[in-house]
Amino acid sequence: MQRGLPMQPTVVLLKEGTDTSQGTPQLLSNISACLAVAETLSSTLGPRGMDKLIVNERGEAQITNDGATILKLLDIIHPAARTLVDIARAQDAEVGDGTTSVVLLAAQLLKEVRGYIEEGVSPHIITKGFRKASQLAIERIKDIQVVVDKSNPERFRSLLLKCASTSMSSKLIHSEKPFFSEMVVEAVQSLDPEDLDESLIGVKKIPGGGMQDSVLVRGVAFKKTFTYAGAEQQPKSFKNPRILSLNVELELKAEKDNAEVRVEAVSDYQAIVDAEWEIIYRKLEAIEETGAKVVLSKLPIGDLATQWFADRDIFCAGRVPSADLRRVCQAVGGSIQSTCFDIGPEHLGTCGRFDERQIGGERYNVFEDCPKAKTCTLLLRGGAEQFIEEVERSLHDAIMVVKRAMKNGEVVAGGGAAEMNLSAYIRKHALQIPGKMQLIMTAFAKALEIIPRQICDNAGLDSTDILNKLRMRHAAGDKYYGVDVDGPEGTRDNLEAFVWEPSLVKVNAINSATEAACLILSVDETVKNPQSEQQNPGPRAPPGAAQRALRGRGRGVPRR
């Protein structure tokens, strides 16, 4: 400080103990955190990807190689690395597959430009270059994608089978690809083609048996609900029954629980008891008059009602899960009623066959040959519970991929072929641009090669040799050449080999990865509020305007 100038007062904006990190070191630290996340996931990519065994604090183990699931199970607290968790979840929700690819791509983009950040290149220039390269990549996907003719049902079904099979090639169930591909395509095709709501595909996990014992029910199946005495006397099989779905409790209720009643004579008390019985009998008789042979309810059906139905050859099930009851209505028709009276034929559903059958160690109620079947149920079998859960996750990815392929009908070659073509195209385009932008776009092109490189590494192949072969092929115009993990050459035309993916998976992955990389590059400061605020809550003066402004902005770490 120069002598003679008045001393400036210190302005305290943040509470004592607040941790602030800023500048280039902060940016490099965020990039390192993202690379650590990607390193965890990298070995799960491709048909020879490995699985992760994750044990939570309660000691429950899960085995999976699904990127979104791994990131959800890992308790990542680094604020920048959480961005990768968000893009993996978004990819999973939007297109179902490509969750590992999107995280690897985002991390590789950051890795390629780390050197430029250290040398002082402005993050804004890098962001601009990334966005331009991403735009070029998406335009190129539209050039190389193959539009499948939906007018030929056989060919279109064959395409859907290829897409499902490609999605499963990196999963635990890859050895049973043909079996599960058929199951997935049939499940998606059974939905309403207008909205393709995948929540109407029910999945039930039944331990025991092998994978091949899994079945697809073209209708609805749910586990036998809690039953009262009398249930065993009910018939367990019907042909063309009328089905009534209720949201009514059919139990004998003592009215003394709801109201205080004063009686002066025994006959008055008897009248109250008779009224209680009269209420439930009226409901049961009204249900019988509808002609329904199968009665389902969200709420309990008590022992009196169960025995009453059994005496009249009617099947009933109470406490049916709401999701299952909704799918029953979708399959058999009719609607859920909240009263037992004024029920017309239009409120009832029907199906070709209803029966209760033994599957594994459980009994299941199964509705088949449904006239309005816009739903189906997958009954998955397998040895260990963790194994069946991973089969369910794998089938979810395949279902989402088939759903997207049905909606769009545009596919690209998988196995790293699309990424290699985009890389060659962006490199060629970058040579025509002067200045730093050329370097940034070349870095983007190089980052795209992480997908085929990682597929090679995970399969134990020489990635440098195979990538050189692929660069030569794509330079010569063979735009569908990708990695072949089985053949001696290591490369093949993946479009001819039927390794197909919906182009939407690629478009979404590139968009999400670019946005995540740009977001992380735009952060140059992290503000962590002191933990003492939560540990020692005491009387405090109201925060000033400056503190309020800082608290209003995004915090460095998510609140626990």
Catalytic residue numbers, as ranges: 66, 99-100, 397
DSSP bridge partners of 205: 380
Give Cα separations from 53 to 69, 396, 543 (angstroms): 11, 20, 46
Q: Which residues pair with 506 in a beta bridge?
A: none
Quick one: which of 290, 307, 397, 407 has its CA closest to 349? 290
Q: Output the DSSP codes for 409-429.
A: -EEEETTTHHHHHHHHHHHHH
Residue 395's contacts (CB-CB under 8 Å, 6 or more residues apart) are 173, 180, 183, 184, 203, 378, 380
How far does CA 333 lie from the centroid of its chain? 28
Question: Quick one: 487 exposed, middle or buried, by C-beta within 10 A (0-12, 13-18, 19+)?
Answer: exposed
Give me the helix-helix angle, 436-448 and 123-144, nearest 10°.
Answer: 50
- As a whole number of Å, the end-to-end CA separation of the chain is 43
> Which is nearest to 505 in space by CA: 37, 43, 92, 85?
92
Partners of 528 in the β-ladder: 19
Token reading at 522: 């735009």
Q: Which residues contact 411 (CB under 8 A, 6 or more apart)?
A: 145, 146, 148, 159, 163, 405, 500, 501, 502, 503
